[in-house]
Structure 1
Amino acid sequence: MSEAAHPTRINCVLIAGGLYHDFDYARLELLKPLAEDPRVRTRVFEDYGNLDAIRQADFLITYTCDVTPPLEAQEALRDWVRGGGRWYALHGTNSVLRLFDNGLYGAPRWAPLLMETLGTQFIAHPPIAPYKVEVADANHPLTQGIAPFETTDELYLMERHGDLHVLLDAEFQGEATGFDEADWAHDRHPVLYIKAQGSGAVLYNTLGHCRGHYDMQPFLDWWPQVDRCAWDLPVFRELLRRGIEWAKDGRRVS
């Protein structure tokens, strides 16, 4: 039978899990656009433990917080990307969080291989507040037609690793309250970028914080409000869809 009659299956791995976020919500909202393409079959996990599934995947999507793969998995992820894999990493995928003795959160550099593959490591964010996202490369297919926009979200302040093609960014100078590395000089910080490596690449989108009433346990039994942040913006949903297209079919969005 022809390819048109029986299109080739596309295997996706979605990893959603960790701390301090509403992973039920994020997982569902990511599965919806994936399900719009009948070629895509998605396996869902909370961590990077199933290396066979990752190695067999055509593309990978991650929405995690403080989920650090062991060294074997970090090496497998690096090799998979270099071998042609497309990884769409969202929000806290690049985070390693620990509460220090001084009562502040810090970002220990415990997974340098993972962060080198991702292109950044999360260090801190200021309190959630409105900020403006600018378009750093308006000619790229992922950002063509996207206008600067305002969002209320976590503005990620990160340590960079390697050469990044920044597509969206945001300006910040000030204090990241509650974090050990709190004082930040004026700079522009990537919001959406690509890190090419080998014949594959990582697309990283720092937006998309979400939190429900129970997601701060055991520190708080009840978080008073439901946070959806950029998820409520049509532009963020458009960026998600474009990122999924980039990940599953690099021939169309390079």
Structure 2
Amino acid sequence: MKQVLSVSTGFFHPPFAARRIVDRVLTAVARIQLSHARSLNSIGGLDMSRFAALVLYYHRDHLALDALEAFERFVQNGGGVLAIHSATASFKGQTRYFDILGGEFAGHGPVEPFTIEPALADDPLFGGIGAFSVTDELYIHDLRPDMTVHFTATYAGEPQPIVWTRTVGRGRVCYVVPGHRTATMRQPQMQEILRRGVKWIIGD
């Protein structure tokens, strides 16, 4: 059994009901035991060697230095990260945090329908999940290099990464853009992306 720490908070952004759905989806994944924390700042005082991965689903302003350093050590030493939606819009100015996630929020359009399309012809991680539509916020990011983009959506005529993975040190990171609306997280394709993403970051 692998221990996964879900760091998640919010009533409206992200929605409480959406966070509950994510918890249910991940709890049902075999060989995972999910624990919970309300703030990433709490990991500065935890023994993070107990955990195989972190799930980040929040919109927060302040990240303490000891928590940032614990986060960096965790990933560099092989810990996994599944980050969802506004995790990349949190902790503005914390370059080291975004260097791990792979992108920093730069803006978004209105909440509107868009189509999410596979980016790879033969995707070993998300293969079989076809194109699907959501009504959500389509985030635009300032991106770091060295990532694999698995899904894209078009914004202002340009393809934007919607799901990406990357490695940092010995750790694995998966980021998923949608998550502004509860209805998005109810969609079976989104839930399958979360399931496969968390299994990949823990090495299953």
TM more than 0.5: yes
Q: Out of 58, 71, 85, which is 2:65 matched to? A: 71
- CA-based RMSD: 2.0
**CA shift at 1:40, angstroms?**
2.6
Q: Secondary structure, in 3 states, of the residue corresponding to 2:41?
A: coil
Q: Secondary structure, in 3 states, of the residue corresponding to 1:81?
A: helix
Q: Out of 140, 148, 167, which is 2:131 matched to? A: 148
**CA shift at 1:63, angstroms?**
0.7
Return 5+ residue gaps in structure 1 as ranges: 1-8, 98-108, 174-185, 211-227
Structure 1 residues 37, 195: closer, same or farther in 2, change over 3 A?
closer
**CA shift at 1:42, angstroms?**
2.1
Counterpart check, 1:230 vs 2:175: no
Task: Quote the Cα distance in structure 2 between the aligned partners of 1:49 and 1:146.
Answer: 35
Letter in structure 1 aligned against 2:56: T
Return 5+ residue gaps in structure 2 as ranges: none
Task: Quote the Cα distance in structure 2 between the aligned partners of 1:240 and 1:194.
Answer: 12
Letter in structure 2 aligned against 1:172: Y
Q: Out of 35, 39, 43, which is 2:35 matched to? A: 43
Relative CO higher for 1 or 2, CA cutoff 8 Å, sep ≥ 6? Answer: 2
Equivalent residue runs for 1:19-30 within 5 Å: 20-30=12-22
Counterpart check, 1:32 vs 2:32: no
Counterpart check, 1:190 vs 2:161: yes
Answer yes or no: is the 8 Å Cα contact 2:53–2:201 preserved in 1.
yes
> Could you tell me which residue of structure 2 aligns to residue 111 of structure 1?
94
Task: Quote the Cα distance in structure 2 between the aligned partners of 1:124 and 1:74.
Answer: 23
Task: Quote the Cα distance in structure 1 between the aligned partners of 2:61 and 2:49.
Answer: 19
Q: Secondary structure, in 3 states, of the residue corresponding to 1:66?
A: coil
Deviations 1:106-149 (A, max 9, x none): xxx41111011110011211111111112112422322011122
* Runs of 4 or more above 3 Å deviation: none
Answer yes or no: is the 8 Å Cα contact 1:157–1:189 preserved in 2.
yes
Work out which of the two has the higher radius of gyration on C-alpha atoms and give 1 or 2. Answer: 1
The answer to which structure has the higher helix fraction is 2
**CA shift at 1:18, angstroms?**
4.3
Q: Secondary structure, in 3 states, of the residue corresponding to 1:242?
A: helix
> Could you tell me which residue of structure 1 aligns to residue 145 of structure 2?
162
**CA shift at 1:19, angstroms?**
6.9
Counterpart check, 1:130 vs 2:113: yes
> Could you tell me which residue of structure 2 aligns to residue 61 of structure 1?
55
Structure 1 residues 26, 150: closer, same or farther in 2, change over 3 A?
closer
Task: Quote the Cα distance in structure 1 between the aligned partners of 2:33 and 2:198.
Answer: 13
Deviations 1:40-97 (A, max 9, x none): 3222111112221544311111111134422221222122111111111111101138
State the aligned residue count. 202
Task: Quote the Cα distance in structure 1 between the aligned partners of 2:169 and 2:124.
Answer: 21
**CA shift at 1:22, angstroms?**
4.7
* Identity across matched positions, percent: 27
**CA shift at 1:38, angstroms?**
6.3
> Could you tell me which residue of structure 2 aligns to residue 243 of structure 1?
197
**CA shift at 1:232, angstroms?**
3.1
Normalised TM-score (structure 1): 0.73
